[in-house]
Structure 1
Amino acid sequence: MSDGDYQTFTNSTAEISERSQLAITLLPFAMVDQLSGRAEGRRRVEIRVLGPLEVAHRGLPVQIPRRQSRILLGILALDANRPVQVDRLIDLLWGTEPPENARTIVQIRISQIRSILCPDDAHGLDVRLEPRAGGYVLEAAPDSVDVLRFRDLLRRGAAAPADRIRAALALWRGPLLGRDAMPEITASYGQALEAERLTAIEHLLDIEMRSGDSGRVVDEFLPIVLDNFVREPLVARFLRALHQAGRTAEALKLYDQCRRWLASEFGSDPSKELHDAYREILAQTSQEPTAVSFRPAMPKLLPANVNDFTGRISEVTWIADRLLPDGRSGAALIAIAGPGGVGKTALAIHVAHLARARFPDGQLYVDLHGADDHPASARDVLGRFLRALGVDGSAIPEGQDERAELYRSLLADRRVLVLLDNARSDSQVAPLLPAEPLCAALITSRSRLGATLGAATLDLDVLDTVDATALLQRIVGTARTSATDGATAVLCDLVGRLPLAVRIVGAKLAGKPHWTVDRITNDLRDEDARLDHLVHDHLDVRATISVSYAGLEPDAQRAIRILSDLPDRIAGWQAAAALGIAPTDADLVLDQLVDAYLLDVAGADSTGTVLYHLHDLVRLFAAERARIEDPSILRRAYRERAHTALLAGLQAACRAANDGDHMVIRGDQVASVVDSLQTLVQRQPLAWFDSVRPGILPSLRQAQRDGNVGLCWEIAVVSSDLLALQRSFDERQLVLDIGMSEAGATGDVVGQAAVLLALGKLRADQFLADEALGCFERSLSLFESAEHQHGIGVSMAYVAMAHRFLGRNDEALEYCERALTRLTDLEEPGGRAHLLRSIGQIHLAKADFAIADDYFEGALGLCAEFGPFRRIEAQTQFWQGNLRLKQDRVDEAQALFTRVFDACREIGDVTGMCQALRGLSRCLVVRNSPERAREILLQALELAEQPRSTMLSRSIRQDLDSLGG
C-alpha cells in the first residue's frame, strides 16, 4: 500500500498549529516551502521517483513527454549526487540490444532534460544536471529529490522517530517510476529501496508496539505484509502487532497463510523468528477458541485521484480551513456547488485524498446520481455504508431511520470523511451526514445545497486563465504549447475556461498530433458554431470524440463500441470476453483507449484487478457508433459473451466458496473461465464477487431485454447463492424477481423451478419456514413435470429441510430418504453427504442415537472420500458433537466442537463459529463450570450481534438465561 499526496508533512515541525499543519498537508511543495520558512529560490525544482515520475518547477508541474527521457531522469534521480556512466545508462535503457547510435540518443535526451529542468539561468537552483567523466550526475539538495528526502528523514534525529518514519513512508506514491519502470531498473534500484521501506515499517511497528498503540497501524500495513511474506521479520512483528491490537484470530490465520506460502513457494518452514512469534501468541491465548468482538472496519472507498488536477489552490485552502474540528459541536459540512463540467467532483476527490491523514478511521464515498432520473435513496446508501463499516448483512436494520441511527453510532468518536457526490437535495443527504465533530462531509451538487443543514458552501467557478492554460498543457504536453503560450491562453478564454471544455479541446489536440493551437482556435472563433462544438445537450462532444475515434485502430474502434454496452467499472476479463480475444490482447486494446483519453482507469478492486470507466458522454457517442456500424444481432452476441463470462466467474466463485456444486441446479449454458480469472476467483471468491456485484443487476436486465432466458435465470440463481453468504436479503430478492419474471414469461419450466428453489432458500434464511416450504413444493412439482431428475432430488431435500424446521420429523425423514435415493443414482456425493447429515439430525431429534451416529459417520466418510467438503464436514461434526453430549461422551464432544470452530474460522463461517462456541459452553456446563460457559457464550454473543441483534444472538441469549444470567 502506498501513501499519497504529501499527507505526512503535517508533523514536520512541532510548533506549527493544527490548522497550519493541515494547510501544509494539502498545499503543493512550493507553498510548503513558504510556510516552513525555506527560501523560495532554493526549492524551484523537485523530482519525485517513489511512484510515477513527477517534476515540478517553481511549484508548477513540468511535463516530460518522452518515455526515454523520463526513464533517464528517473535513473539519475535514483543515483542523485553520484555519477552514472553512459554505458550503464545504455544497459538500463536497452539491455543487451542497444541501437548503434545509443550514445547519441542518450546525449540528445540529456540535453532535452537539462533544458526542461533549467529553462532559464540555472544559477541558484538546487537541482543541476552536469557531465562527469564518461557519464552524468544529477546534483541535488536533499529536499529536491524524494528518494534523498526519504533517506534523510530516516537518518535525521531532530523529530520523534515515529513522525520521521511516517513522513518518509508517505513519500511513496506507488511502484518505483510507475509504468515507466523496466525490469533492469527494478532489479538495480527497486529491490534495495523496497528493502529500506520495509525496514522502516518494521521500525515503526516496533515503536507503536512499545507505546501499546499498534492498533492504528495494522490495517494500514496489512496489504504490504500480504505482498511480502518472504520478509519474515516483518511478518513476525505484524503478528505481534495484530495480537496486541486484540486481533489474535487474524494473527493466527495470517501465520497459517504465510506458512502455506513458504511451503508452496520454497518448500521451507517458517523461520525461527516467525515461529517464535506464533508460539508467543499461542501461549498468551486461552486453550478454548476465542472469538473477536465486532470492530468497525476502516473503509477506503475514495475513487482514484485525478492525475492531472491543476490549480484550485485557494479553493483547496478554503476547504482545508473548514475541515478541522475548531471547537464546533457537529461534523464539518462543506457543499461544493456549480454547473456541470466545472470540476466539483475532481476537486472534492482531490482534497479528500490529500486529507486522508486527518481521517485515519476511513473515507466513505457514494455517487448519489442526483442529476439522473433515479437518484440513489438514502436507505440504500446507508446499507452500503454500514456494510463498508463492517456490519454483517443480517444485522442491517430494514428502516431508513434505524439504519441512520446505527450509522451515526458507528461513527461516534471516530475520524471519518464522507464524500457525497452529485447530490440532489438536502433531504437526500441529511440521513447520510455524520454527527461527530471529529468527522467531516464533502457534498457536491449542481444546485446550492446545505442551507438547511448548516453547511459551508463553496460556489465553484471556472478556472482562471493561468490554470486553464496549465491544464491544457498537462493534457497536450508542454512541447506543443510552450512556444505558443499567448495563443493557448486565447484558446482557453474562447471556451470559457470551463474545465470540461478545456479537456474537450485538449482531447482534440492530443488525438491529432499534427494539429496546432492556432488551427483549433480559428475553428472556435466562429461564435455561431462554437456551441455546436462544445455544448449541445448530450451530443455536445460528438465532434471532439469523432476526431479521437477516427484515429484509433479498427480493433480499438470495435472495442469502444462494445464497451459502451457493458456495465460501468469494466474489468479486463469482461472486455476480453465481449471482444472474443485473449486477456493479454484485450489489455493492449484497453491501453490504446486509455492513451486516447476515451477510457478512464477507475482504480483497482479489492483483488487488485484494474477497472476501467467510460465517461457518460463517451459512452453515448460509442453507443451511437455501435448502432450505426454494428448489426443488432452482432451487438447482442457481444453482450451475450460478456454475460456468459460473468456467469462462469460467478459459478467458479460459488464452487470455491462452497467447496463444490452440491445441491446446485445448472442450466444448459456453457460457461468457462480463463485461467488467470479462475486462479483469482479460487483464491478470493467473495472478494471477487464483491468487485462484480454492482454490475450483476444491470447485466441481468440486459440479458432480460435480449431474451437470453437461460443466462438470466442462471445468473440470478448463482448470484443469490453468493449473496446468501453475505446475508444480503434485499439484493437476493431483486435478482430472483428478474430471474422468475424472465423464466415465467417464456415458459421455461426448469428455470422457474430453479428460481423457486433459490427463493425458498431465501425464505428459510429469513426464518419464514412455511413460505419456504411452499416455494420448495412448487419447485418440486415443476421439476417433476419437466422430468428433471437432479432437480427432483435436490428439491426433495429442501422440502425435507423445511419440514424439519417446522418440527415434522416423519415427513422430513420420508423426503430425505426419497431424495437420497435420487442423488445416489445420479452419483452426487456432496448432495448425498448433505442428506445423510440431515437424516442423522432427524434421528438425533428422535433420540435414535445409534442410527443418527451411523448417518453422521456416513456423511463424514463421503466428505473424506470425495471432498474436501469443508462446510458439510463442519456442519456434520457440529451435530455429531451434540450427539456425543447426549451420550455423555463430553471429551469427544468438546474435541468435535473445537474442530468445528477452527474449520469455520478458516472459511469465514461466522454462524458456524458461534454455534461451535455454544457447543463448547454446553460441554462446560456438563463439567460443572457454569462461569466459564458464560464467558464462552458472551464471546459468541459479541461475534453474533454484528452489532445489531440477530436470530442467532437471541438463541445465545436464551442459553445465557438458562445459566441464570
Structure 2
Amino acid sequence: MSLASDEGLIFKLLGTIEVVGSIEQISMPPRRQRTVLSALLLEANRVVGMDQLIDAVWEHTPPSTARAQIQICVSALRREFKSAGVDAQIETRQPGYLLRVAADKIDVFLFERRVAISDLAVRQGRPEEAATVLRSALALWRGPALSGAGATLQNKALRLDEKRLSALENCVEIELSLGRHHALVDELQSMVTENPLRERPRGHLMLALYRSGRQSEALEVYRAGRDLFIERLGLEPSDHLRRLETAILTDDKVLRLDQDGPALAAAHNVVSPHQLPATTSDFIGRQDVVARAENVLSGDHMTMHVVNIAGKAGIGKSALAVHVAHRVAADTYPDGQLYCDLRGTQAQPATPAEVLGRFLSALGAAGSALPDGVDERADMYRSMLANRRVLVVLDDAGSESQVHQLLPGSPTCGVIVTSRARLTGLAGSHLVEVDFMNSDDARELLGRIIGTQRLESEPVAAEALTEVVGGLPLALRIIGARLAARPHWSLASMVGRLADERHRLDELAHGDMVVRASLSLTYDGLGPDARRVMRLMSLLETESLPVWTATALTDDPRHGFDLVERLVDAQLLDVVGNDVTGLPRYRFHDLIRLYAKEQLAAHEAPATQLASVERVAGGWLSMAEQAHQRLYGGDFTLLHGQGRRWQPHAPYVDQVLQDPMGWLESERANLCAAVLQAADAGLDELCWDLAMTLVTLFETRSCFDDWQHTHERALDAVREAGNTRGTAALLCSLGSLHHSQRRMDASRAALEPALELFTELGDTHGLALTRRNLGLLEYNEGRPEVSRQIFEESLAGFKRVGDVIGQAHVVSHLAQLSLDRGEHELAFSQLGDALGMCREVSSPRVEAQVLYRLGGAMLAQGRYERAQQLITSVLTMVQRSGDTVGESYALHSLGLIHGRMRMFAEAGRLLRRAIRLCEENLDRFGAARIQLDLAQLVSQRGDTFYAIAIVEQATTTFHELRLTLWESKALAVLQKITAENSLSAAGASNGGTA
C-alpha cells in the first residue's frame, strides 16, 4: 500500500466512523452499534469481554437486558458485514467477542504503524523520509477520532487525538530542521490557536517566525503565551520556552538553520533509558487489574498518570508493575523507562536524592553536573523529562514522602508506584489493589513451574497446595521452586510438610524467596502498639471480626480502632465488609495470621493472652444476652453463670441490636468460635453461659449442628472444671436439642441427669426449665397426664423466680392439653393468660407462639376466619423476625385452615411451602408431620396413589427417627385413605351397573 494512500481501508475511526465493503459502504449504524463496533476495532484481533462492551455502551448504569442488547448489536453487525462484503469476522470467544481483520485495514493501526516508521527514519538520520511518512499518517485523519461512537469511548477518542497532535508536533519539528519554516507559519498559528496551553507548538511557531525574519512577532507569541499561562494556570512558561525567548532576543546563533541539523540529531540522540527488569515469563491472570492500570497509563496526556499498585507482601505487586510497564512502554512511552527499587519496607530505604541521582545519570546528565541538593536535582529531573514520553516505575515505596520528588512534571510521562500501603496522598494517583490469585490461576502458575503433567497427575494434592497458601503468589513460587528442584518429591508429600501450621512458614522458604522474611519487613515497620494489636488479633480465628474485638483485646477503647486501621494500611489485615453501623470488619490471610501467631508466642505472656480472650468472650456474651433480652422482653428462660462480661461501646451495641435476631445470625460463626475458644482457654463459666444464651439463635434458625457442637465442647470444659451448675444447664439444653430433633431417648438421657443435678443444687430456675423440657418429652411420647403434672411443677418454679416468659411457655402447653381433652373454655382462658404475660414484658417471639396455639384452638372449634386472621398475623411476625421454624408452623396451620374452608389449591400450596421450609431447616419430623396432612388433602381431591406415596414417605421418616407413636398415626392415615378409596371405587362400580 502506498504511504500516501488509504485505499483498501475497511474501517475508518479517525473521524466519522465509516465501514467500506467490497460491495458497498455501510450506512452509519445506530449509535449503540457504532460504540460496540468501535470497542471491538480498538482491540482488533483480541478478545473483548462482554462486561467491557457493556461498560462501553452504558458505563455505570447498564439495564438488566444489557447482555441481550449487545448480542443483538453483534448480530446486526455480522449481517451488515456480510451484505456489504466486509472482509472481517466477529467471532464469539469467551468471555466476549473477537473482531478478526488485517491490521492494515484499520486506519488507527495504519496511523500508528506510519508513526513508528517515521520514528525509525529519524533515528537512522533520514529526516525527509520521516516527515513524508508522518504527513501520510496525518492525512488519514478526517476529524476528531471516533465521531459518533458515544460518550463512553470519549477517553479513547481523546487519547487518539493526543497521538495525532504529538505526531503533528514531531512532523513540524522535523520540517523546521529541513528549512521549511516559511511554509509552516500558517499551520503553526492554527495549532497555537487550537491548543493555546501547549508549549511545544508555541515554541515551534516562535522559531518559524524568527527564521522567517519576523523576530518581533516571535517575541509577541511568547509574551501572549506567558500571559495566558499565568492567567489560566498560575505558572510561568517552562525553562525551554524561556531560553528560546532569550535566544531570539539575543539573536543567538544556535537558532540559525545551519546549526539546526546537529541540534536535531542531538535532540533525537538524547539518552533513552530502558531500565525495566525482564517481565515474568510465567505471569498468570490479573487481567482485570492489568487492564485498569493500562487504561490509566494509556489515557490522554492532559495530566501525568500515576498508578499506585498496592497489596500485601508476596502478592505479586512488582511482577504486575513490570508486566504492565512492558505492555505500555513501546506505544505510549517510547522515550524510555526508568526503574528503581525504593526499598521502602527495608531498614534503609532509598532516599529521593539517591534515586534522583541515578535517574539523572540514566538520562544522560554528567556526574559533575549533578546538583547536591535534592530540590535542585528534582528541578533538573523534571526539566529533562519535559515533553518526553517516559515511564517511571518506583517499586516498593514506603510512603508518599519517598515518592513526591520522584514524580515527573510533564503530562506526557507516566508513573507506576508499588507499595504495601495505599498511597492515597499522591495527588491524581489511581489506586489499583492486587488481591490473591484465584484457584484456577494458582494451579496454572504452579503447573508452569513444575510442569502440567506433574500437576495433573496429582489433582487433589495440587488443589490442596493452592488452598493451603491462600493464593499468595510468593508462597506458590516457593512451593513450585522446591518441587521443581526435587522431582522425586510428590505433591502429596509437600502437602504433608505444610499441614502443620507451627512449621508452615519454615517450609515456605527457598533461596532468596522467604515468606516470613517478606512479612517481617512490614511488621517491623509498624509502631509497637500496632504490632501488639496484630499479635493479639491472631488469637481470634474466625471469618471476620468487628472493630470492637480489637478494643477488647487491648482493653484500649480510645485507640483500638486507629491501631487496627494501621494494620489495614500496611496490608496486614483485610477489610472484608461493613456491619450495620457502617464500621469495617476485618480478617487475616492465613499465612499472615500464622506469622502473627509466631510473634504472639514470642512476645505475649500466657496470662496476657488469656485476659484478652476473656474480654472478647465476655463482649460476645454481653451482646448475646442483650439480644436475647430484646427478643424475650427480658432475661427470661435462661440461666447465667459468673463469667466476667466486657461491655462494647453502648451506642454501637444499641445500633447493631436493632435487629437482634439478624445480629445473632450475622455473628453466628464468631459467637460459636467464642464458645469453643473460651472452652479451650479453661474459661468454663463464660463458655457454658454463652453456649446457653445462643440457644435463642440455634432454636429459631434450626442450627442444630452448632447447637450440639458448642454444647458438647462446653460440657467437656465444665466437667473438667468440676462445674456442676454449668453441667446441669448444658444437659438441660442438650435435652431440648435432642427433643427438637425427635431423638427422644437421647433427650431423656440428658434431661434426667440435669434434673438430679439441679435438685442437688436446689436451683429452682434450673429445675423449672428442665421440667418444662421433660413435660414436652412426655407429651410427645403420648403420656399427657404425666406431662400435665410435670408442667404444673415447672410453672410453680417459674413463678417463684419471676420468669414471666417461662410461665407463659408452660401455660401455653397446658392450654394444648386442655384442648386435647375438649376443654375449650379452659384452654382459651389459659392462652389469654399466656398472651397477657407476653405483652406485659413485650416478648414478640413468645407472643407469636401463643397466638399460633390460639389460632389452632380457633381451628379446632371451626372458627376458620378468625383462625386465619390470627395465623396470618403470626406469619407476619415470624417472617419479620426471621424465625424460620415459626414460619414453617404458621404455613402449616394456614394450609389446614384453607383446607377446612375447601380452598384446596391454596391449601396445597401452603402445605408444600411449609414442607420445603422444614427441609431447609433440616426438620425431618416437621416435614413428615405436614406430609400426613398434605396426603389427606391430596386424597380428598381424588389423587389416591399420590396421597399414598406421600404417607409412605412420611412413615419412613417416622421409622428412621424411631417415633412409634407417629408411625401409628401415619398407618391410621394410610388406612383412612385406602378405605375412602375403596368406598369411592365401590360407589363408582354401583353407579356403573345401575
**Higher relative CO (CA 8 A, sep ≥ 6), structure 1 or 2?**
1
TM-score, normalized by length of structure 1? 0.49
Larger Rg: 2
